[in-house]
Amino acid sequence: PFAHEEETEERTIYNAATCLKSIYPVADAIFLADNQRFVRKDFSLRNNLSQINALMVEPFYNLLCA
């Protein structure tokens, strides 16, 4: 891991675990994905988030529309 990942990993794991624990009782399914693999350095944060969301749901589009 990179140095910044070592510094923030514990907090990131805690945040992810808290989120999963809170949505588990009300969700039918949970898809976990590592959004870091979709980040592009030449895009703004807003464009990155928009593009990441689109790329992550594209394979599941028909399922999510059902």
Q: Are residues 21 and 35 in the same domain?
A: no
Q: Are residues 23 and 50 in the same domain?
A: no
Average pLDDT, the chain: 81
Which residues span the domain enclosing 16?
A: 1-27
Q: Rounded to whole angstroms, how far apart are CA atoms 32 and 9?
A: 17
Q: How many domains does the chain have?
A: 2
Q: Are residues 37 and 21 in the same domain?
A: no
Per-residue confidence (pLDDT) for residue 27, from 0 to 100: 93
Computed from CA positions of residues 55, 58, 63, 66, in that sequence, does the dihedral angle turn out positive or negative? Answer: positive
Q: Rounded to whole angstroms, how far apart are CA atoms 24 and 38?
A: 25
Q: Are residues 43 and 57 in the same domain?
A: yes
Q: Are residues 7 and 23 in the same domain?
A: yes
Mean pLDDT of 19-39: 86
Q: Are residues 63 and 35 in the same domain?
A: yes
Q: Is residue 26 over pLDDT 80? A: yes
What are the tens digits of pLDDT across the range 38-65? 777 887 878 888 888 888 888 888 887 8
Who has greater pLDDT, 24 or 33?
24
